[in-house]
Structure 1
Amino acid sequence: MTLIPPPPSLPTPVHIFISFFFIAAVEFSGGSSQHFLTSERTTLLHLKQRWGNPPLLRNWNASSSPCNWPEILCNTNGSVIILNLLSKGVAGPIPPFICDLRNLENLLLYNNYLTGEFPTVLYNCSKLTEIDIGYNFFVGRLPDDIDRLSGIKWIELGGNNFTGNIPPAIGNLSALLSLSISNNLITGPFPSEIGNLSNLLSLTLSYNRFLEAVIPPEFGKLSKLKNLWVDNCNLIGEMPESLGNLSRLEWLSLSSNNLEGETPSGLFRIKNLRSLYLYKNNLSGKIPAVIESLNLFEINVSWNKLNGSIPDDFGKLKKLVGLYLFRNQLSGSIPIGISQIPTLRGFRVFNNNLGGELPPELGIHSKLEEFDVSGNKLTGKLPENLCSGGTLFTVIVFSNNFTGEIPRSLQSCHKLRSIQLHNNSFTGEFPPGIWKLSNLSTLRITGNFLSGELPNTISKNLLVLEISGNKFSGRIPEGISSCTNLRVLKASNNLLSGEIPTAITNLSQLFVLHLDGNSLSGELPSEIKSWNSLTTLHLAKNRLFGQIPPAISYLQSLLDLDLSENHFSGEIPPQLSRLSLNTLNLSSNKLTGRIPSAFDNLAFKNSFLNNPALCSSSSISNLRNCYAKSSHPHKIFAMILFLSALLILITILWTLFVIRRHQHVRDLTWKLTPFYKLDFTEANILSGLTENNLIGSGGSGKVYKIKIGKGGEYVAVKTIWNPRKLDHILEKEFLSEVHILGTIRHSNIVKLLCCISSEDSKLLVYEYMENQSLDEWLHGKKREPHCLDWPRRLQIAIGAAHGLCYIHHECSPAIIHRDVKSSNILLDSEFKARIADFGFAKILTNSNLGQTNTFSAIAGSFGYFPPEYAYSTRVHERVDVYSFGVILLELVTGKEPQKGDVDMNLAEWAWRHYSEGNSMVEALDPKIKQDSSYMEQIRLVYKLGLICTRTLPSSRPSMKDVLGILQRCNRLSEGEKKKVLNEKNIDDLDSKV
């Protein structure tokens, strides 16, 4: 990942304003003249009114001096010189009378809702030196006479919808110090006239869709330029040699383009160059051997076609923090000097042709954080001191030719999160201390010659454990049950023995379990219902015996079952027919009887080989025909008689239970707490709690659809039963939360009409949603392409974003949902989205589990969990943002959140798919990718889903930003769909995953 964030594009007075504003405001306001105080206050109040009276400007009033307002800075005469309205919610066009602020120098309107074309009205603000209107909703072309802003020094236009060309007249703004037009719809070429801006310090043109633009050689004349950012702009051709003339350049980023040819050698001779980003282009040739840019702290030239060796001169870069050369064609060995760079934190050179041994001093002189040399031809041992600085969190060296033992020093590397050593030739006993590393989430050591026993204590945060193809022996320890978050366990082809411990059935999050090719014995545990997420179960080539447990039929997610080459006996449980298996292998066992009808067909013809006592009713080859008539009719009659009696008994008992339960419901004392005017009573609701009205159930209770009134209206009633009397504090807290949510009034949040409560139960009454949940339409029985086309999916995403934006940004205090998922997005008759189920049922159900009975306790559903849930219980708005990002990925890919791939959830899979450069079209739901007219909208939402599911919470956008991007996407005209709006720098994350 990139260790140093991009710098601000310009050293604007915004930063000066923040640092001295309060002192200056007090000092200057005292000398303000009455004239300026009166006239400019009138202008400002008029502006406030014209811009919709935003709540954040509540301090603006007719009785106070503007110089005392937080957003204003005045000069010594009491006249406004800075108007700072960053993120203040102002909306509408910029009116002409703004220039009545005759001394206005800095106009800062970043991140608002301003509209219209480029504000040429600002031509009349004669003293204006800075314009910041970035991240608004401006449209149209930049004016050809933009040079009328003759005194301007700073221009920020990024994050709007400007189209057309950059006017050549911009080269006449001789005073210009900073120019930013990133994240727009600019399509024209770069005007060479920009090269005339001799005072320019910063130039940012990133994230536009220029029509195969070429970098003008005239850019080499920008002798004072410090920052040049032209990422993702469809650049073609070669980089001009003149870029090497930019002697003051500090930051250069030309990533995610189509540049070709060799890297100009002059770039590496720029003394002040600090950061060089050229990744994801088509650059070829060798990296220049002579490097004089000794101030470089980050080099990223990954995802190119560079060849040759890594220059020895890289070892001279004593300030280098990150070196990223992955996915090239580099060969030769890694220079020893790189191991002696004291500042080095990130070293990623995977997927090259590098050979030889690693420098033995790696990690001794620097505090490495990430180390990835996978996919090369490296040999020898891993350096013993990789983690001597104690900061390493990834060691990724798979698919090389490493030998020897794994360094024992890794046992004390407590920050390690990922160890991937698979497909090498490591030998010896696996260091036992590594199993206990508290932050370890991924351990992949498959395909080596490692030995030892599995310890009883294993890291609780482990998500992926792959040890197949080694020489591990002994029993599977009972302590495996402590790995409650484990999703993938692959231990095939080892020397494991003994029984499969019952404790392994406690791993309820498992997706994949491979224990085949060992010497395991005993019966398969029968209590395996908790494996409700399991998709793959491989237990072949062991010594297991006994009957196949019918409980396997409860594993409704199971797709791949292999129990072959064991000693299982008895009949195949007919309950297995409930499963939707893609592959089934029960061959080479001792099974008897008939094959269940669901598998008695040619699709499973090889699934039952070498079971002589099995028979087939459909004459599957290699199996005998089942007898047409039984030789024991009296036994069959007795069995039928017994089952009939048992059925009658169960019916009687169930009838008594239902009668008693309904009597209990009627006998309770119920209290109705309304949040809207109701046309029904609690009696209407209680009488409707019948099995005929049941439409769903969950962990905390059931959901009923109940008709009210004579007009045919329905409500949805969620029941929450708790057999124990509720704690008084818990009861009070629950009602408080319900009251808060009951007072929410928003068109994209399901109405909570009332709460009906008794001593041991609660009934939550909601408006009924005719089309049920988004989950049903994406993954359930209602999956019909004509009903959920792309425009409707985008409509649903925008509606849900509106609801979340409201609770995050407009409720006081802010409300965090904590369980955002597609099954909690309900759809009305017109497919308008409503956010539902704010999780307060968990307050009640958790009371019996000894859990924290607070609304801030951890909630959520697997697949929607953000990564920080593995190490923190802190709840914040960005938890909802992550979950919403997963929903966006569901809408685009059609995949379920838990099923991105065999060992990854959807978010992890999407990031992997994107970072490996795979085609986005391959990832799309087949139901929507047929209509190419929406492809750019789909592409944007796909990338927005990736942004929302970033690992670091602080790097995710707010729901306000997410909503803004979706709204812009929805407003794209047919002609504009060729250009993606506001991609939020997603492409430069390819090397940071």
Structure 2
Amino acid sequence: MSQLCLYFVFLLFISISLKVTSQDINAERDVLLDLKRQLGNPPSIQSWTSSSSPCDWPEINCTANSVTEVHLADKNITVPIPPTICGLKNLTLLDLAYNYIPGEFPPLYNCSKLQTLDLSQNYFVGSIPDQIDRLSTLVYLDVGANNFSGNIPPSIGRLSNLQTLYMYQNLFNGTFPKEIGNLSNLEVLGMAYNEFSPVRIPQGFGQLRKLRYLWMTRTNLIGQIPESFNNLSSLQHLDLSGNNLEGPIPGRLFSLNLTHVYLYHNKLSGEIPRPVEALNLVEIDLSMNTLTGSIPEEFGKLQYLDFLNLFSNRLTGGLPASIGFLPALRDFRVFRNNLTGVLPPEFGLHSKLEGFEVSQNQFSGQLPENLCAGGVLQGVVAHTNNLSGEVPKSLGNCRTLRTFQLHNNRFSGEIPQGLWTTFNLSTLMLSNNSFSGELPSELALNMSRVEISDNKFSGEIPATVASWTNLVVFQASNNLFSGRIPKEITALSSLTTLLLNGNDFSGELPSEIISWRQLTTLDLSNNKLSGEIPAAVGSLPNLLNLDLSENQFSGEIPLGIGNLRLTSLNLSSNKLVGRIPSQFDNLAYENSFLNNADLCADDPILRLSDCNSELHESKGLSSRHISIILPFVILFSLAILVLSFFIVQDYRRKKRRQYLATWKLTSFQRLDFTEGKILSGLTNDNLIGSGGSGKVYRIIINPSNEYVAVKKIWNTKKLDYKLEKEFLAEVEILSSIRHSNIVKLLCCISSEDSKLLVYEYMENHSLDRWLHRNKKSSVSGSGSVYQTVLDWPTRLRIAVGAAQGLCYMHHECPTPIIHRDVKSSNILLDSEFKAKIADFGLAKMLTRHAGSHTMSVVAGSFGYFAPEYAYTTKVNAKVDVYSFGVVLLELVTGREANNIDQNMNLVEWAWHHFSEDKPITEILDPELRESSYLEDMIMVYKIGIMCTRASPSTRPSMKEVLHALRSCCPEDGQGAKKKITDIDMAPLLGSVTGTYLSSYKNSKKGFEEDDSVIFDV
């Protein structure tokens, strides 16, 4: 009977327990359904219904039939998280990453069992709350990639259970607390990419004895690495790059069991301490510092060392021979130091070496014989040293080699035949050595750049040169080449640069050069070429630099050359006759026609005879063997000319003095020209552009054929108030900022009726000319037709460069700047296609911590307006982000911002295509669809989509955009490795739905709310 009673009691207990559990799970389902409602019933969680158990929902994990984990990452959530979620009493994990959640840090303090909280990659703003320590059970906290600002509170040091703390890439501009050192269980600390106030690394960080991963890239650290770091016995990954650290590296640091060390882009000084027993080191990166002393011999004991990066320091002495014996060494980079001695011959023999960069040192001796012994070598960069001897024959059999750079050394002998044709080689740079031999009959299929100038190569250019189909740059100046320039070379339609000057070529220049439609630079000077200059030269649409001097060309100058927009021209020392093209009849080309006795010009300013004078008529007739003019006629004409010359010159000097007296020059850079030089160049022949606020001229400033661009703001004595404001705005901004991706303002010159801004000259003009050349050339009637298709790597470099300029303006200027007129025509390109932001006439400075600035009028360019800009006058940095997004879409699609159809501009068209889930490849520029870079193009297309979202608060910052664009590049432009694990930009590049398209149609609504979200830059 007693056993039966116990059995019934047990059944009763089970029944009660099941009833209680059922009630609990039903209550938790109600909490989650209420959460779904407050989140706006997003389609991504439609499986949450009242007819099913939460434990069966994909986003929910349960323990003992109770909800313990909620996974809402990447669910397109766009509203704040309500505190009611803490009704889940057993909640231990909440993942909200990769959404678009606005507002301040969510009030989750009643989630008493919460251990994992992931808020990363959202749009949270404000500061981390002081009461953060109320989440006392937290083990994992990630608030990375948000817009948090201010200080990190000391109370975070009271989260005693915390093992992982990520706070990277926010807008923190205060300090971080030393109390972080109290987190005795902390294993991972990531605070990178925050502009904290200048701060030293707290000594207390040395108490983090369990710390394995420390990531503090670009956090404005100063001072020395503290000695207390010697106590970080568990440390495996140390990244303090991009700061302002100084002093020596702590001597015992290398005794830690590190697997990664990144200390580049600092200001460390002193010698590298000798590693003691750091045998587990895998990667060492101490690049871009001011380290001195020699490379320690003990580096050769690091048997697991995979990557040794010491470039851009002040290291001296030789390389320890033991480094050549390292069995795991894959990349070795010590370029830009003061290292001497010979390169250890064992390099490559004991490991699978992939990269070998020792350039810009003082190494001597020979190149190691076995660099490619492992069969995976991709690059040898050893230029600018004192290396000598011959190139090892083994490198001729290295099929993996992609770049080979030995220029500026003392090498001699012939190049191994196999090196010319090795399969993957694309860059061969051997200039300024003593190499000899002849050009090969075949060249590697992928070869795009061959630079062999200033050597002793000889013989003729082979007729098989036509097979070098991918060659873009061919520089062979100052060698011993002879014979004719073969017509087969005109088949190289991809050439942009051809330098054959300083050789012994003879005969005529092939007339078929019309196929060189991408050529920008042609230098055939100092040879023995003869015959007439082919008329086809005047049909090369992209030619910028032409030098045919010191030859024996005869006949007249083709008139078509005058239609080219040349930045430099030299036809001196030939046998040319007749009239020069009228476009060159100005002082910008005064040294372009010297020593051609029978050339004439209509303007006596040039040092040529007057085509309209009897004197020149006599010379022209004489050269054509028709008649001879009597000597007394010549003397009489000369006398008249001399007298007229002095009268005119005296008049011009008086007028010039009166004219210059009315002008005032204000310089912002060191100048090598006067205002007179600029003013004399304001002629229609030098006019290269015009716009709503004035005209732009290209003016030569010195005998070296250097140019400046001059923007003339207006040309009327009636003062225009709007243009005066634009002028003052541009001068104020450009005179106060310095950045390599922002056009440099040299000076301004003003008078009562005109304002001149003098800039550095950008040889390749503006981006829109290259992207939209065919449409513009058909209507412009100009001789400059941009037929060259910008390849994708060039477009990507342009995008990164422009983004760097805008990022500097928004995030790095002492007074942040909004441009307000970002567009492809305001992105200028220098001779290397480096992008620079220009035209700041509409820009406005914002004071730090100020809200949106209200503009009296809406300014900018149609097609690039952010939607909120068209309906309100509030301005923040997101208007530039939107406009830059339009530029990215132009780069990817090749289409103009407004030229789609009557109903849609480029942004609407791109979003419409995206919302219909059509293949992205259909929208890409047809001229690039067959490119091998489709994945990167699609990535940039998605970045453009993110930038052009209707709501300003959902657009990324320029800092985020720049980081995402750099992730598309193999390198960041400074030779640093791309660290994929640093920041996952998935939310920036992730999926978006058609719901955003509809917001454009209703874009007049809700922008007052969005405008309140101002980035505190």
TM-score category of the 2 structures, normalised to the smaller one: 0.5 to 0.7
Gaps of at least 5 residues in structure 1 are: 1-29, 637-695, 706-771, 808-816, 841-853, 890-935, 980-993
Does 1:547 pair with 2:532? yes
What corresponds to 2:422 in structure 1? 437
Equivalences for residues 112-123 of structure 1 within 5 A: 112-119=99-106, 121-123=107-109
Percent identical pairs in the alignment equals: 46
Contact 2:98 2:986 in 1 (8 A): no
Does 1:879 pair with 2:937? yes
Query: Which secondary structure does the structure 1 equivalent of 2:165 belong to?
Result: strand
What corresponds to 2:163 in structure 1? 177
Q: Aligned-pair distance for 1:944? A: 5.5
How far apart are the structure 2 equivalents of 1:587 and 1:551?
20
Q: Aligned-pair distance for 1:960? A: 5.6
| Structure 2 counterpart of 1:78, from 61, 65, 68 | 65
Query: Which secondary structure does the structure 1 equivalent of 2:513 belong to?
Result: coil
Q: Aligned-pair distance for 1:364? A: 0.3
| Structure 2 counterpart of 1:488, from 473, 498, 519 | 473
Contact 1:821 1:884 in 2 (8 A): no
Query: Which secondary structure does the structure 2 equivalent of 1:461 belong to?
Result: coil
What corresponds to 2:672 in structure 1? none
Does 1:152 pair with 2:225? no
How far apart are the structure 1 equivalents of 2:477 and 2:922?
38
| Structure 2 counterpart of 1:108, from 68, 85, 95 | 95
1:45/1:509 CA distance change after superposition, 3 Å: farther
Contact 1:225 1:246 in 2 (8 A): yes
| Structure 2 counterpart of 1:961, from 988, 992, 1000 | 988
1:882/1:471 CA distance change after superposition, 3 Å: farther
Deviations 1:439-461 (A, max 9, x none): 22211110111122222221232
Q: Aligned-pair distance for 1:44? A: 2.3
Contact 2:218 2:242 in 1 (8 A): yes
AA at the equivalent of 1:39 = A
AA at the equivalent of 2:495 = L
Deviations 1:108-161 (A, max 9, x none): 111111122111x31111211111111111111111121111111111111111
Q: Aligned-pair distance for 1:483? A: 3.7
What corresponds to 2:604 in structure 1? 619
User: How many positions carry a matched residue from both structures?
Assistant: 741
How far apart are the structure 2 equivalents of 1:887 and 1:504?
43
Q: Aligned-pair distance for 1:574? A: 1.5
Equivalences for residues 127-276 of structure 1 within 5 A: 127-270=113-256, 272-276=257-261
What corresponds to 1:922 in structure 2? none
Query: Which secondary structure does the structure 2 equivalent of 1:289 belong to?
Result: coil
AA at the equivalent of 1:331 = T
Does 1:578 pair with 2:568? no
How far apart are the structure 1 equivalents of 2:894 and 2:844?
20
Contact 1:826 1:836 in 2 (8 A): no
How far apart are the structure 1 equivalents of 2:111 and 2:21?
21
| Structure 1 counterpart of 2:388, from 403, 406, 420 | 403
1:826/1:543 CA distance change after superposition, 3 Å: same
1:557/1:835 CA distance change after superposition, 3 Å: farther
Contact 1:204 1:228 in 2 (8 A): yes
Query: Which secondary structure does the structure 1 equivalent of 2:376 belong to?
Result: coil
Q: Aligned-pair distance for 1:262? A: 1.1
1:829/1:801 CA distance change after superposition, 3 Å: farther
Equivalences for residues 833-912 of structure 1 within 5 A: 833-834=906-907, 860=925, 873=932, 875-876=934-935, 878-882=936-940
Contact 1:401 1:425 in 2 (8 A): yes
| Structure 2 counterpart of 1:60, from 48, 51, 57 | 48
What corresponds to 2:339 in structure 1? 354
How far apart are the structure 2 equivalents of 1:277 and 1:697?
43
Q: Aligned-pair distance for 1:941? A: 5.8
Deviations 1:816-843 (A, max 9, x none): x9943464675999997537699x9xxx
AA at the equivalent of 1:158 = G
Contact 1:881 1:949 in 2 (8 A): no
Equivalences for residues 1-80 of structure 1 within 5 A: 33-75=21-63, 77-80=64-67
What corresponds to 1:5 in structure 2? none
Contact 2:306 2:330 in 1 (8 A): yes
Q: Aligned-pair distance for 1:212? A: 0.8
Q: Aligned-pair distance for 1:957? A: 7.8
Q: Aligned-pair distance for 1:946? A: 3.9
Does 1:514 pair with 2:499? yes
Q: Aligned-pair distance for 1:491? A: 0.9
How far apart are the structure 1 equivalents of 2:265 and 2:505?
48
What corresponds to 1:90 in structure 2? 77
Deviations 1:379-421 (A, max 9, x none): 0110110011111111000000111111111122222111111
1:530/1:42 CA distance change after superposition, 3 Å: farther
How far apart are the structure 2 equivalents of 1:237 and 1:447?
43
What corresponds to 2:316 in structure 1? 331
Q: Aligned-pair distance for 1:940? A: 6.8
Greater relative contact order (Cα < 8 A, sep 6+): 1
How far apart are the structure 2 equivalents of 1:68 and 1:963?
27
AA at the equivalent of 2:988 = D
How far apart are the structure 2 equivalents of 1:615 and 1:832?
51
1:622/1:183 CA distance change after superposition, 3 Å: closer
1:32/1:476 CA distance change after superposition, 3 Å: farther
Contact 2:39 2:79 in 1 (8 A): yes
Does 1:475 pair with 2:460? yes
How far apart are the structure 2 equivalents of 1:804 and 1:554?
30
What corresponds to 2:434 in structure 1? 449
Q: Aligned-pair distance for 1:307? A: 0.5
Q: Aligned-pair distance for 1:256? A: 0.6
1:466/1:55 CA distance change after superposition, 3 Å: farther
1:345/1:189 CA distance change after superposition, 3 Å: same
Gaps of at least 5 residues in structure 2 are: 1-17, 625-770, 781-820, 830-836, 846-858, 867-878, 914-918, 948-955, 973-977, 993-998, 1000-1006
TM-score, with structure 2 as normaliser: 0.66
How far apart are the structure 1 equivalents of 2:923 and 2:445?
17
How far apart are the structure 1 equivalents of 2:473 and 2:395?
22
Cα RMSD of the aligned pairs, angstroms, is 4.2
How far apart are the structure 2 equivalents of 1:530 and 1:366?
47
1:974/1:74 CA distance change after superposition, 3 Å: closer
How far apart are the structure 2 equivalents of 1:406 and 1:351?
22
Q: Aligned-pair distance for 1:590? A: 1.4
How far apart are the structure 1 equivalents of 2:88 and 2:179?
32
Q: Aligned-pair distance for 1:510? A: 2.4
Query: Which secondary structure does the structure 2 equivalent of 1:92 belong to?
Result: coil
Q: Aligned-pair distance for 1:291? A: 2.8
How far apart are the structure 1 equivalents of 2:485 and 2:910?
39
Query: Which secondary structure does the structure 1 equivalent of 2:221 belong to?
Result: coil
Deviations 1:190-213 (A, max 9, x none): 312111111111111111111111
AA at the equivalent of 1:881 = M
What corresponds to 1:664 in structure 2? none
1:822/1:467 CA distance change after superposition, 3 Å: farther
Q: Aligned-pair distance for 1:528? A: 2.5
AA at the equivalent of 2:466 = S
Contact 1:572 1:595 in 2 (8 A): yes
1:587/1:835 CA distance change after superposition, 3 Å: farther
Deviations 1:304-336 (A, max 9, x none): 111110000000000001001011110111011
Contact 2:943 2:961 in 1 (8 A): no
How far apart are the structure 2 equivalents of 1:283 and 1:417?
33
Deviations 1:642-669 (A, max 9, x none): xxxxxxxxxxxxxxxxxxxxxxxxxxxx
| Structure 2 counterpart of 1:594, from 564, 571, 579 | 579
How far apart are the structure 2 equivalents of 1:940 and 1:471?
50
How far apart are the structure 1 equivalents of 2:508 and 2:576?
14
Q: Aligned-pair distance for 1:773? A: 12
Contact 1:260 1:281 in 2 (8 A): yes
Deviations 1:281-313 (A, max 9, x none): 110001112432211111111111111100000
